Structure 1
Amino acid sequence: MNEFYEFDERSYQRKGGFWKYIAVALIFLLLGAIGMYYISPELQEPGSNLAGTNISQEDRTTVEKDVEDDQSSELPSLGAKGDLFISSDNPVVEISEKVGPAIVGITNRSIIKQQEPFFGNIYEEELEGYGSGIIISEDGYIVTNNHVIDNADELVVILKGGKEVQATLVGQDSMTDVAVIKIDEPDLTVAKIGDSDKVRQGELAIAIGNPLGHTLAGTVTVGVISAVNRQITYGSNQFTMIQTDAAINPGNSGGALVNANGEVIGMNTLKSKAEGLGFAIPPMYSCL
């Protein structure tokens, strides 16, 4: 059975009680070292060390179905207007330049409470999740994966060039793993949305997003459409997805899968633990 994971990475930063916890740990370590010195001198040879443990957490994501029903009157027409035909001899370069500014980074900040193991003190820890998003209207609407924005206390969008803008949640649906957020920012580049019914196996596929967080923002990778209409079961939900071998990694969630005409034909969402197997939600299922 294939195993899948969502593209997202999160890091923890403790907000309170940290140094007390460290001080207690150091005291216990010191007492243990003294005891070992007197009890077993022959064990003083170097060779062991303490290593930190990276805490990772799978992202969850969403998009309310009533975004389309209840809020459809508030949403403008989506996608860039006019043709975006790519005529260059090197289309990937031109696509990157034209579509890249419509792909943004998203930071999901949330605060969780933890309990210290020794004295039971409660402290706060900040959890940051990273993902990508696609600008779909000049009014600042952005579509992304639900697991990118789920449980956020604060959402920040990072535009091309590094500018950070506060975002608000418009709607989310965990069943389809789609969410819509909004920013107030002028002169936005809007992605042109393609027709998922016309996607063909073997055609050019270009993935644009932020793998491994914002450090590698705007990364472009190239592959082909490996298959269409793949039925993928993840968790308790089933998705109809586009399969690609374009390299995608944690942080790419919500980013764009683009065709040779510079049209967004999918939203990168899942990756198999096997190499070269990535999956994107087609526009018909992702509010694109």
Structure 2
Amino acid sequence: MNNEYNNEYRFNIEEVEGTDKTSESYTGFSTDDMKPKKKHTALKAMAGIMALALVSFGSIEAYRAVEPSLTKGALTGIIAESDTTSAGSSIKADSMNIFATKPAGGTAMETEDIVDKLLPSVVGIESKFIVETSTGNSGGYFFGFDSIFGGSDPFSGGNSGSPQVEEVPATGTGVVITDDGYIVTNAHVIYDTEYSVGEATSVSVILSDDTKYDAEVVGYDVECDLAVLKIDAKDLTPAEFGDSDSLRLGESVVAIGNPLGFDLKNTVTGGMVSGLNRNISINDKTMTLIQTDAAINSGNSGGPLINKYGQVIGINSSKMSNSYSMNEASIEGIGFAIPSNIVSKVVDDIVELGYVEKPQLGISCRPVTEDIAEMYNMPVGVYVIEANEGGAAEKAGLKKGDIITAIDGTTVKTPDELTNEKNKHNPGDVVEITFVRNGEEQSVKLTLGKSEPKAQKTEEAEETEESERDERAEKFERIERPDRTDRSATID
């Protein structure tokens, strides 16, 4: 056994204060497009201001600038596991596997042939949210205009100073996965966590032939950033999904989406696979993603990343903005997509189970950073705040105060790294956990538990939620809003 550390730590970690070094994982930004309602054929003329809005706050999962919350603060409480899935309806698929990935291969296709093959499977998505802005915000969803213009949104008509209710549309992209109307997109296109708005009040799907359907939310998982929708349509063209595990660095890819809304519907961009298995932190959740230099912009969320065989190998979800750079250096061509093999499992779970089945350790934890470890003679790792009663960790003998340093021999230094390693396994798998207790390194075999579905809402809770939505909608209908359409520029 390793007795490198003192048998008794100088302090309990919950009493220690310190600062962490920036995480080695990156911080990405959601790519949906959220803005005040306006004519379908118009884009804002003030491109510079719009770019700033998008970089800083212009989407449901608002673009985050680099700030202390993104550097994984040493003593910020982190819950390693939580139920992040919600079932939106009782719709069930006819079979266990709603779709499956196919081996990559065949004859490489020309870009225009790839586009011809995929366009019928790519859809536009519009979600509507009822948002009550805080006092002093003038009613538009232009957070930040106060600082730019010295007081208010220049498009608001001067109603600053009182709470306003806005119907806020967000646009994104989706991919048809069955011929009878199942569609996959990003969770952040239809569900807002950043401003606690929650699920969209309505979701619409626009097919490639411009036919518009009301969509039902089958379910979503905010941690995986995936959602499944269902429309009442037949004879659709489902996309073919390929094996993302077979991707190679430098392989050519194509992206299709609706950047900045539907004015630029079905925009095609191309590039290559720039990186694989990138651990990217988006709104405090770490995901393992494909990196590409194909242009991915606001509104591309949920669209396909396609290989040279015309197979979808990823769902575009995020990009890196200039605000990530500490020295304000320009950042271009760094976008990310959720691998198709992950999409396949998540979609099947959402449709069949109503939630995404994930392996569980059953702990609450915090990071022991290098600064803290050096200062208090502790090992770098993941400090167990609590082992949940009846959970996998408690059953294996882990307890409060243990510091986890590895899982199956792979070193883990943060809760994100621990979660990533855990999620490579399935519920019921046996893993070896290496940890330090009172200065002594130990290991234990642990059988991973599995996530459980959220408790169903009571009828009373459903009625209360519906009543609150109706009240917000009624407020919205009573508001007198100035005509903003003459302050936009049209695209010729």
The alignment's TM-score, normalised by the length of structure 2, stands at 0.46
Choose the corresponding residue for 1:64, options 85, 96, 101. 85
Which residue does the alignment assign to 1:107? 126
Q: How does 1:69-218 map to 2 (within 5 A)?
A: 77-78=98-99, 88=109, 91-114=110-133, 123-150=164-191, 151-218=199-266
**Structure 2 residue matching 1:286: 3-state secondary structure:** helix
1:116 CA drift (Å): 6.4
Determine whether 1:5 maps to 2:53.
Answer: no
Shifted more, 102-111 versus 116-125: the winner is: 116-125
1:64 CA drift (Å): 2.8
1:146 CA drift (Å): 0.4
| Alignment check: 8 A CA contact 1:79 1:191 kept | no
Choose the corresponding residue for 2:293, options 245, 250, 261. 245
| Alignment check: 8 A CA contact 1:108 1:129 kept | yes
Q: For the residues of structure 2 that align with 1:241 and 1:119, how far apart are their CA atoms?
A: 42
Q: For the residues of structure 1 that align with 2:36 and 2:124, how far apart are their CA atoms?
A: 19
Determine whether 1:275 maps to 2:332.
Answer: yes
Determine whether 1:229 maps to 2:230.
Answer: no
Deviations 1:130-187 (A, max 9, x none): 1000101112111110000112000000110222111000001111111101111122
Deviations 1:85-130 (A, max 9, x none): 5565xx1100101111101110011112346657976653110001
Determine whether 1:285 maps to 2:354.
Answer: no
| Alignment check: 8 A CA contact 1:60 1:146 kept | no
CA shift in 2, pair 1:137/1:241, >3 Å: same
CA shift in 2, pair 1:85/1:100, >3 Å: farther
**Structure 2 residue matching 1:193: 3-state secondary structure:** coil
**Structure 2 residue matching 1:279: 3-state secondary structure:** strand
Q: For the residues of structure 2 that align with 1:12 and 1:119, how far apart are their CA atoms?
A: 16
Q: For the residues of structure 2 that align with 1:225 and 1:80, how far apart are their CA atoms?
A: 18
Q: Calculate percent identity across the aligned residue pairs.
A: 38
| Alignment check: 8 A CA contact 1:140 1:183 kept | yes
Size of the alignment, in residue pairs? 248
| Alignment check: 8 A CA contact 1:79 1:137 kept | no
Amino acid aligned to 1:131: G
CA shift in 2, pair 1:64/1:185, >3 Å: same
| Alignment check: 8 A CA contact 2:290 2:338 kept | yes
1:232 CA drift (Å): 1.1
Q: For the residues of structure 2 that align with 1:214 and 1:80, how far apart are their CA atoms?
A: 29
| Alignment check: 8 A CA contact 1:84 1:263 kept | no
| Alignment check: 8 A CA contact 1:80 1:190 kept | no
Q: For the residues of structure 1 that align with 2:28 and 2:133, how far apart are their CA atoms?
A: 29
1:11 CA drift (Å): 1.6
Which residue does the alignment assign to 2:71? none
Shifted more, 252-261 versus 4-13: the winner is: 4-13
| Structure (1 or 2) with the larger CA radius of gyration | 2
RMSD over aligned CA atoms reads 3.3
The alignment's TM-score, normalised by the length of structure 1, stands at 0.76
Q: How does 1:23-38 map to 2 (within 5 A)?
A: none
More strand, by proportion: 1
Shifted more, 253-262 versus 2-11: the winner is: 2-11
1:76 CA drift (Å): 5.9
Q: For the residues of structure 2 that align with 1:205 and 1:4, how far apart are their CA atoms?
A: 20
Q: For the residues of structure 1 that align with 2:252 and 2:59, how far apart are their CA atoms?
A: 30
Q: Which runs of 5+ in 1 are unaligned?
A: 15-50
CA shift in 2, pair 1:217/1:247, >3 Å: same
Q: For the residues of structure 2 that align with 1:82 and 1:4, how far apart are their CA atoms?
A: 29
Q: For the residues of structure 1 that align with 2:95 and 2:263, how far apart are their CA atoms?
A: 34
Q: Which runs of 5+ in 2 are unaligned?
A: 1-21, 39-48, 63-82, 137-158, 192-198, 322-330, 348-492
| Alignment check: 8 A CA contact 1:63 1:180 kept | no
Deviations 1:184-216 (A, max 9, x none): 112211100000111111111100111111111
